[in-house]
A and B are shown apart, each in its own frame.
Chain A
């Protein structure tokens, strides 16, 4: 069954209140779309880029009821990570994957999602891998200069945070003002602290979808920061975010047999 047909069936049966997919937008670009009726399901397509998992934690979306989500592998990883972090429950949503022939399969449980993902190992896009390697081969000073130059364009619109499926905190540290941990204005320190805190908070949690970089209106490759943190966690602990709905997340798990002595 194809996506539109499946969406209509799910909506008509009342199984879900909305189907989250994509639709053609300005100049033919693909954008996220909510189909809430069989008629609206006619517009749905699957070939968009955004990680739709960022919507499922919105309170406006939670209020709709159970939603089906057209999911690419990165979307599934984000959904699993959200389950692992207890932000969503299995029954709250219905991930739908679409194969090369356009046929839809429901993945109603975390287990089904894990099994599906086991077939496709996470690979970073070649361009991002190349950029990460380039950054890794720089001296500290060169890397510092690279990020200083890139972040000087930041306007602190928080499009990176808003587009990130793992940035779901209702009250982000950036928004804390008693005390104000991080400067609000988009000056050099405010920009740097924001992006450093975000990268640290996403270490081991970033599913490497790259949506933050895609969302940036001024073209900062900001996803490289969280990719780097994620790759580092993978190298140190052998874990990848979004691999399981029951993951003991490396950065918040204590084990008495930890190889580092400082933590024991």
Chain B
């Protein structure tokens, strides 16, 4: 059970100062030129006031878009190999939504599946999340259909819920208590606050367990190619997704040396499964779109016991042609195998 406190809006600057004094970088949603994005902040007035979501997800903090894994130098008869070590800045993510906070578990499932990824883990260990509950939603949101909610605590070390004068603060984990200990006076005991009444209403849009159970039988349905006719085959959805974890390994080298890089990749690209022979097991965009749905709603539950989607809706908002994920899942829920 979480410890309940109240945090006044006026005390955020003091909290940020305490975090800064502890050597932590604070990343929070900012708004400039019509864009919501995560940026380093030091004062509360730098944090966006009326944002719903940032365009990109917070996964970059643990899984950057490009990462060097190793480098080497070449000389006649000699190779000098140097393993890269992760550069880690102790970071507090302030104000990300509960959906995004819960997404780190889906990344963790892959990066610590059969091998412990040192880059991911080093960053995750130094990351604390102060989540912010949602008082409104938009048409892309569907957290409640995938086990989350506008006030869900999973993944947050502290969860703030906006209320008159400040926030209801739930201190949830040891990392959260460590933050609280940096500025204990700011956290005033709270009683009798009706959290649910402060939050947005997000009715569950579809029955996810039923959909997951049905997907194997829908594999050959024409539904996927019909839904994906509109899809352009870009990687916007995958790259803004807080749980999409696929990466490519690239070698950049010349005669004197090189480096091996890990970069974001997307199953929506036709190259993703293209074999050296020229054969492509996912030859059409329909097969690739199906893979995107199945990976998140069928293979993830089967392999990791959790979903690969948190219902944040970032993919829907980023898509140039409005491939609304929720709408497509509702449609899949309604067809008969």
* Contact (Cβ within 8 A) A186 B321: no
Interface size class of B (residues with CB under 8 A): 35 or more
Interface hits, B42-80 → A, CB 8 Å: 55-56, 65-66
Q: Which residues of A contact B263 (CB under 8 A)?
A: 156, 184-186
B145-153, B198-206, B212-220, B235-243: which one contacts chain A?
A: B235-243
Q: Which residues of B contact A211 (CB under 8 A)?
A: 320
Write the nearest CB–CB distance from B173 to chain A, whole angstroms.
Answer: 30
Q: With contacts defined as CB atoms under 8 Å apart, how many contacts are there between chain A and chain B in the complex? A: 107
CB of B233 closer than 8 Å to a CB of A: yes
Write the nearest CB–CB distance from A184 to chain B, whole angstroms.
Answer: 5
* Contact (Cβ within 8 A) A27 B138: yes
Q: Which residues of B contact A50 (CB under 8 A)?
A: 320-321
Q: Which residues of A contact B320 (CB under 8 A)?
A: 50, 159, 162-163, 211, 214-215, 217
Q: Which residues of A contact B284 (CB under 8 A)?
A: 59-60
* Contact (Cβ within 8 A) B232 A163: yes
* Contact (Cβ within 8 A) B248 A58: no
| Nearest B residue (CB) for A188 | B66
**CA–CA, A60 and B65, complex, Å:** 30
* Contact (Cβ within 8 A) A60 B229: yes
CB of B161 closer than 8 Å to a CB of A: no
Interface hits, B244-294 → A, CB 8 Å: 248, 250, 252, 261, 263-264, 266, 269, 271, 284-286
Q: Which residues of B contact A159 (CB under 8 A)?
A: 232, 234-236, 320
* Contact (Cβ within 8 A) A155 B56: yes
* Contact (Cβ within 8 A) A25 B322: yes
CB of B327 closer than 8 Å to a CB of A: yes
B 303-337 to A, binary, CB cutoff 8 A, 1 in contact else 0 = 00000000000001010111010010000000000
- Given A27-B139, A184-B250, A186-B263; A157-B235 close (CB under 8 Å): yes
Write the nearest CB–CB distance from A257 to chain B, whole angstroms.
Answer: 42
* Contact (Cβ within 8 A) A60 B321: no
**Top-3 shortest CB links A-B:** A215-B320, A162-B234, A185-B263
Q: Pull 27 A–B residue pairs with CB atoms less than 8 Å apart, ordered by A.
A: A31-B321, A31-B322, A32-B321, A60-B229, A155-B56, A155-B239, A156-B263, A156-B264, A159-B232, A159-B320, A163-B232, A163-B234, A163-B321, A185-B66, A185-B263, A186-B65, A186-B66, A187-B261, A190-B66, A215-B236, A215-B320, A217-B55, A217-B56, A217-B236, A217-B240, A217-B318, A218-B35
Binding site for A on B (CB under 8 A): 33-35, 37, 55-56, 65-66, 138-140, 225, 228-230, 232-236, 238-240, 248, 250, 252, 261, 263-264, 266, 269, 271, 284-286, 316, 318, 320-322, 324, 327
